[in-house]
Chains A and B, each alone.
Chain A
Amino acid sequence: MADIPTAELPGSLKRNASLDLWVRVDARDTVTVRTGKVEIGQGILTALTLIAAEELDLDPRRVRIETAITGRSPNELITAGSMSVEDSGSALRQACAHARRHMLERAAVELGVDLQSLSVDDGEIGGVGANRKVSYWDIQGGRPFGITVERRIDEKAPARYTVVGRPFGRVDLPAKIRGDGVFVHDSEMPDMLHARVVRPPSYHHRLAQLDRAAIEGDRDLFRLVVDGSFVAVIARDEYAAVRLAARAERAATWHQIDTLSAPDRLADYLVAHQAGAYPLIDGAPQAVPIPVLPSADDAMQVQRTYARPYLMHASLAPSAALARFDDGKLTVWSHSQGIEILRPLLAKVLGIEVDEITVVHSQGSGTYGHNGADDAALDAALCARAVAGRPVLLKWTRQQEHRWEPYGPAMRIDLAAALDGDGRVATWSHDVYSFTHIGRPMPFAEGVEMVAAWHLAKPFPRAAPTPRLAPEVGIHRNAWPLYRFPATRVVKRFVADSPLRTSSLRGLGAHGNVFAIESFVDELAALVHVDPIAYRLEHTDDPRARAVIERVAAMCGGLSTSSAGPTVARGRGIGVARYKNKQCYAAVVVEVAVDLESAIVRAERVWIAADAGCVVDPDGLVNQLEGGAIQSLSWTLKEAVGFDADGVTTADWDSYPILRFSEVPDVVTELIDRPSLPSLGAGEATQGPTAGAVANAVAAATGIRIRELPITPDRLRAVALTVAGG
């Protein structure tokens, strides 16, 4: 048995080597496993349950999985970047392998037989020569292991899997189907109070005056909290809090300390405000001179610019949190994706020790990165501090969610290529301009990226964004193309000064970069009259990338469509990427129908082929890939954050429309399972490919190339007129 030293411990086990952090054999019948990752609608708890059950040879129904709690769960910092199966899954599998082996060794002694002869069936250990069986619960029930994992041991061979890779119902779903109150929004506690915060009209307003008497005269008020420009109302009854917040809003006057920069064209603003250029060397941006591509004098030169606007997470439930202060100790129930990062930040703003704070993950609606969850947690904590001993449930309004969440940043991508005599790419150049995609507050930074912290009487400054220089993070995620060209040059161009607050939105830079790359590849293929799929394959040497391209082509039967009517133009387009150039491969084909009268683009059919390595939960994986594709369709066809000098103007679902049920295409997904290869994160794999596929499908249908998202009827008409006008 080839045991490998500690340095090779997989995933989060490296920093959380105590076995008891991960696995506990309950007193009887069940095993509880823990993770530091949180459920955000992506089905991670189900995937981890299957991994644990497989490694322990248990029926998955015997596995209980516990939500993340600071100070008790493995510290995995954050649930982000499609890393949960890779970080937590690999750690949990190894931890369970240790737990199983430890119990088998004990059983061998107890049964007086050789370890090698033992096997496990749903927690019952028996074997050749043993005249009886012992169970996990006989050996370890209710007792900690007290083991620190020091070396890597062999895990179950994938060929013997019976649970992983097979469909299994989502563990969190039955309660939601019954209508149980499982979200933090549904919390009930004895003596619980309800709070609402009253925010200024924009980032650049501060409280000038508050007519306290107008609020305090209301007998439903339990407490008015005013700290600088932070204003909140607390009541016993929830609707009273809603009513009081409206009253407080009328009682407040704000003064404007600045205005927002609201440029006509964000794509131009991004170039004008560039703060630094970092060429990618071996995938990592570096502060070095920008390399010069070899000249190709007689080659065909092509340059194009692509752009996307600011996009919202726009989670369906406004952010919320429950908080309680007891004897100086704070407990916060939050749907943050980064509870271990939130904890020290709360300590910093509230001026208490980290050890005095516990953050319990409690489900919210789907989050797709860094949304308002952390801000709401601070809001709730500030309210709870004002009414010590009483739990306070605080919820944002829809308008607050739309106005104050950190947005996915606008992007501009300039692409250039030189084509050789055969029409193949000789040189490729990619310049991506954007604001930070990583605005999540960091405990050790000087500023604090949390809304309430800026509004306190003693305010914390905003954090100054800095360019991240690790491979595949933020702006330059998937800026390096999947394709192999003789010469490739990629430059990250960091823009510090964003009119709007920005942070991580599903896929980060990958959505804009892949949209641009896949659009440009199609434009080049069209220029040299080569089929877009064939052109991609000509430039692809990675066999797994080729496999997803070929699979999706086979699924849809090719990109040509036959049914073009007099009023509707139909077309298909493809988009391909390997997420972060190291995770899941995805190839997406979208068929659109463009109404030539209204210029409305409808996605009618979508085909997805994906390779995420060893598939743990096939249904969960398909759900993630398809959900990502639908969300990306929505971004690509409909969404843009609107703002003017006075603030954000898209503050509800009417002004920020998203894709509706009547606009959803039929979707077919196929997985290329690779049981002997590592599982790869897939939760963000289809965001970019879908965007490229839609733009390519629109071009195929209409001959009109849209290079700036979203592809709305207005934009389609405007570009059509420009093209027609020459």
Chain B
Amino acid sequence: MLLELTVNGERHRIVVGDAVPLAYVLRNELGLKSVKLGCGLEQCGSCRVIVDGVPRASCVAAAADFDGKRIETVEGFAAGDALHPVQRALAAANAAQCGYCLSGIMVAAKALFDRTATPSRRDIRVALDPHLCRCGAHPRILRALDELAGHG
């Protein structure tokens, strides 16, 4: 089917197969490799993208279901060379080990901080809970975001 998506502010008209999940279209048709595949079961959060302001898994749901939606991926977070505050906070804190989970986590955090500049510590943990990290980088990711929210 013919699909219209607004991705990182740019409109795309793409022909896709009915069942192709959104993640494959974003990664392979649009080259947005920040969108990671970790399980294909909506269990790990690696593939989440922002859809009309809300983080959603993209590994199972068909791209066709996102017709007309506004989608954001990490590639679109920076304004030119200026990283988004969430990216700046995580980078300054070296808040990663392997970094595979990081895109999905930045997606959840940006959606949260775009909604409110001062989320509570609990808000941050609830927002990040759908995301798995296997290296144990959680403490410094949480510290960086707590600090960004003014809970330093």
B136 within 8 A of A: yes
| Contacts of B117-152 to chain A: CB distance below 8 A | 125-126, 128-129, 131-142
**Residues of chain B lying within 8 A (CB to CB) of residue A172:** 99
B 10-49 to A, binary, CB cutoff 8 A, 1 in contact else 0: 0000000101110010011001111011111101101000
B50 within 8 A of A: no
8 Å CB contact of A366 from B41, B78, B100, B141: B100
Known contacts A42-B97, A316-B101, A398-B41; A660/B28 CB under 8 A: no
Question: Do residues B134 and A179 form an inter-chain contact, with CB atoms below 8 A?
Answer: no
Question: Do residues B100 and A626 form an inter-chain contact, with CB atoms below 8 A?
Answer: no
B58 within 8 A of A: no
Known contacts A178-B78, A316-B133, A626-B136; A619/B94 CB under 8 A: yes
User: Which residue of chain B lies nearest to A312 when distances are taken between CB atoms in the complex?
Assistant: B134
Question: Do residues A316 and B140 form an inter-chain contact, with CB atoms below 8 A?
Answer: no
| Contacts of A651-687 to chain B: CB distance below 8 A | 652-654, 658-662, 664-667
A238 within 8 A of B: yes
Complex: how many Å from CA A664 to CA B95?
A: 15
Question: Do residues B34 and A179 form an inter-chain contact, with CB atoms below 8 A?
Answer: yes
Question: Do residues A365 and B34 form an inter-chain contact, with CB atoms below 8 A?
Answer: no
8 Å CB contact of B125 from A317, A628, A662: A662
Stretch with Cβ within 8 A of B (4 or more), from A180-188, A295-303, A377-385: A180-188
Question: Do residues A365 and B98 form an inter-chain contact, with CB atoms below 8 A?
Answer: yes
| Contacts of B31-84 to chain A: CB distance below 8 A | 31-34, 36-41, 43-44, 46, 73-75, 77-78, 83
Question: Do residues B134 and A631 form an inter-chain contact, with CB atoms below 8 A?
Answer: yes
8 Å CB contact of A667 from B43, B44, B139: B139
B102 within 8 A of A: yes
Complex: how many Å from CA A398 to CA B59?
A: 12
Complex: how many Å from CA A43 to CA B129?
A: 25
| Contacts of B100-116 to chain A: CB distance below 8 A | 100-103, 106
A397 within 8 A of B: yes
B2 within 8 A of A: no
A202 within 8 A of B: no
8 Å CB contact of A660 from B38, B46, B129, B140: B129
A507 within 8 A of B: no
Complex: how many Å from CA A41 to CA B101?
A: 11
User: Which residue of chain A lies nearest to B138 when distances are taken between CB atoms in the complex?
Assistant: A664
**Residues of chain B lying within 8 A (CB to CB) of residue A315:** 134
Question: Do residues B97 and A316 form an inter-chain contact, with CB atoms below 8 A?
Answer: no
8 Å CB contact of A365 from B19, B87, B134: B134
User: Which residue of chain B lies nearest to A632 when distances are taken between CB atoms in the complex?
Assistant: B136
User: Which residue of chain A lies nearest to B87 when distances are taken between CB atoms in the complex?
Assistant: A177
B5 within 8 A of A: no
User: Which residue of chain B lies nearest to A167 when distances are taken between CB atoms in the complex?
Assistant: B94
Known contacts A177-B90, A653-B132; A316/B46 CB under 8 A: yes
B3 within 8 A of A: no
Question: Do residues B91 and A169 form an inter-chain contact, with CB atoms below 8 A?
Answer: yes
| Contacts of A621-661 to chain B: CB distance below 8 A | 623-624, 626-631, 634, 652-654, 658-661
8 Å CB contact of A316 from B17, B40, B134: B134
User: Which residue of chain A lies nearest to B33 when distances are taken between CB atoms in the complex?
Assistant: A181
User: Which residue of chain A lies nearest to B146 when distances are taken between CB atoms in the complex?
Assistant: A666
Question: Do residues A397 and B40 form an inter-chain contact, with CB atoms below 8 A?
Answer: yes
**Residues of chain A lying within 8 A (CB to CB) of residue B136:** 626-631, 634
Question: Do residues B24 and A239 form an inter-chain contact, with CB atoms below 8 A?
Answer: yes
Known contacts A185-B37, A237-B28; A627/B97 CB under 8 A: yes
Complex: how many Å from CA A629 to CA B135?
A: 10
**Residues of chain B lying within 8 A (CB to CB) of residue A239:** 17, 20-21, 24, 28
A351 within 8 A of B: no
**Residues of chain A lying within 8 A (CB to CB) of residue B77:** 179
Known contacts A627-B135, A630-B138, A661-B125; A620/B73 CB under 8 A: no
User: Which residue of chain B lies nearest to A629 when distances are taken between CB atoms in the complex?
Assistant: B136
Q: How far is the CB of A401 from chain B (nearest CB, A)?
A: 9
**Residues of chain A lying within 8 A (CB to CB) of residue B37:** 185, 317-318, 395
Question: Do residues B39 and A652 form an inter-chain contact, with CB atoms below 8 A?
Answer: yes
Question: Do residues A366 and B36 form an inter-chain contact, with CB atoms below 8 A?
Answer: no
User: Which residue of chain B lies nearest to A664 when distances are taken between CB atoms in the complex?
Assistant: B138
**Residues of chain A lying within 8 A (CB to CB) of residue B129:** 660-662
**Residues of chain A lying within 8 A (CB to CB) of residue B83:** 177-178
Known contacts A239-B24, A660-B132, A666-B139; A179/B101 CB under 8 A: no
Q: How far is the CB of B32 from chain A (nearest CB, A)?
A: 8
8 Å CB contact of A398 from B19, B40, B126, B134: B40
Known contacts A176-B96, A620-B94; A653/B135 CB under 8 A: no
Question: Do residues B132 and A623 form an inter-chain contact, with CB atoms below 8 A?
Answer: no
Complex: how many Å from CA A43 to CA B140?
A: 15
User: Which residue of chain B lies nearest to A631 when distances are taken between CB atoms in the complex?
Assistant: B136
**Residues of chain B lying within 8 A (CB to CB) of residue A43:** 94, 97
**Residues of chain B lying within 8 A (CB to CB) of residue A631:** 134-136
A586 within 8 A of B: no
A332 within 8 A of B: no
Q: How far is the CB of B17 from chain A (nearest CB, A)?
A: 7
Question: Do residues B38 and A316 form an inter-chain contact, with CB atoms below 8 A?
Answer: yes
A170 within 8 A of B: yes
User: Which residue of chain B lies nearest to A220 when distances are taken between CB atoms in the complex?
Assistant: B17
Complex: how many Å from CA A78 to CA B43?
A: 32
Q: How far is the CB of A634 from chain B (nearest CB, A)?
A: 8
A173 within 8 A of B: yes
Question: Do residues A179 and B75 form an inter-chain contact, with CB atoms below 8 A?
Answer: yes
**Residues of chain A lying within 8 A (CB to CB) of residue B31:** 188
A725 within 8 A of B: no
**Residues of chain B lying within 8 A (CB to CB) of residue A619:** 94
User: Which residue of chain A lies nearest to B44 when distances are taken between CB atoms in the complex?
Assistant: A653
**Residues of chain A lying within 8 A (CB to CB) of residue B106:** 177, 179
Known contacts A185-B36, A627-B97; A178/B74 CB under 8 A: yes
User: Which residue of chain A lies nearest to B40 when distances are taken between CB atoms in the complex?
Assistant: A398
- Going nearest first, the 3 A-B pairs with the smallest beta carbon separation are A181-B33, A179-B34, A41-B98
Q: Besides A363-B98, A398-B43, 5 other CB < 8 A contacts? A: A40-B98, A177-B91, A183-B100, A398-B40, A623-B140
Show 22 residue pairs from A and B whose CB-CB distance is below 8 angstroms, ordered by the A residue.
A40-B98, A41-B96, A41-B99, A169-B91, A170-B96, A176-B99, A177-B87, A177-B102, A179-B73, A242-B40, A316-B46, A316-B134, A317-B46, A366-B97, A627-B137, A628-B136, A634-B136, A653-B132, A661-B129, A661-B141, A664-B138, A664-B139
Chain B interface residues toward A at CB < 8 A: 17, 19-21, 24, 27-28, 31-34, 36-41, 43-44, 46, 73-75, 77-78, 83, 87, 90-91, 94, 96-103, 106, 125-126, 128-129, 131-142
